[in-house]
Amino acid sequence: MKARITPTQREVRLADDDLIVSKTDSTGRLTYVNRTFMRISNYPEHALLGQQHNLVRHPDMPRGVFRLMWETLKAEREFFGIIKNMTSDGDFYWVFANVTPDHDQGGGVSGYFSVRRSVPLAAVAAASELYTRMLQLERSAGPATAPEASLAWLRRTLTERQTTYERFVLGLYAS
Ligand SMILES: Cc1cc2nc3c(=O)[nH]c(=O)nc-3n(C[C@H](O)[C@H](O)[C@H](O)COP(=O)(O)O)c2cc1C
């Protein structure tokens, strides 16, 4: 069960050398977290292992971004994203996430692996602008079609800018 946490306006900034690492099973249930994950999210290991990764989900994140993440992972491709997460106290932290499928010996997907690092302020601003619009669209679309509606808008908008979400994210990371 996910506890109900009230979001605050306090930000936890990652240091340049902070790397947040986690592994999940194929359903997104946490099987490994590193110490930086525990320190930044402010959860002890026992409160994380076995839980769904949406434990750190922030309500400001549009569902369409996670729809895209899972579509990408199910296609056995790696995902790059800019994500706002929430700590156990309701504080927020922004990360650049790289999520990759983890393969077993037979070549099947046994789970997923994610490494995250800090995000430059300009990248947070650029991503927030898109996410705010996506959230508005999700509210007016209603829960049943929210992720499709906002993801369709994101794809259209980035196509108009002659880019994709992945190139948009990697471009911000490089800048
Ligand atoms: C390896 C891996 C890492 C993930 N990292 C995050 C994360 O940092 N923050 C997050 O909100 N969701 C993350 N997710 C996605 C969650 O599993 C979930 O899809 C998302 O939080 C939306 O949850 P909801 O549909 O229950 O709202 C990750 C999933 C995987 C497989």
Please say whether the beta carbons of 103 and 110 come within 8 A.
yes
User: How far apart are alpha carbons 66 and 72 in whole angstroms?
Assistant: 10
Compute how many other C-beta atoms are within 10 angstroms of the C-beta atom of residue 163.
14
Nearest CA to ligand 1 atom 3: 114
Question: Does the beta carbon of 153 lie inside 6 Å of ligand 1?
Answer: no
pLDDT value for 175:
56
Nearest to 23, CA basis, from 117, 116, 111, 118: 111
Q: How far is the CA of 159 from the centre of ligand 1 (A)?
A: 25
> Ligand 1: which of 22, 43, 57 to mutate, judged by most atoms within 8 Å of the beta carbon?
57
Note the pLDDT of residue 2. 62
Q: Which of 69, 96, 110, 150 to mutate to test the pocket of ligand 1 (most atoms within 8 A of CB)?
A: 69
Predicted local confidence at residue 9, as pLDDT: 97
The pLDDT value given to residue 1:
53
Please give the number of the atom of ligand 1 that sits closest to the Cα of 111.
31
Predicted local distance difference test score (pLDDT) of residue 97? 97
Residues of the chain with pLDDT under 50: none
Residue 162 C-beta-side C-alpha neighbours within 13 Å? 0
Q: How many CB atoms neighbour CB 39 within 10 A? A: 13
3-state class of 111 per DSSP?
Answer: strand
Question: Rounded to an integer, what distance in angstroms lies between the CA atom of residue 51 and that of residue 162?
Answer: 38
- What CATH fold (topology level) applies to the domain 20-174? Beta-Lactamase (3.30.450)
Domain boundaries, the chain: 20-174
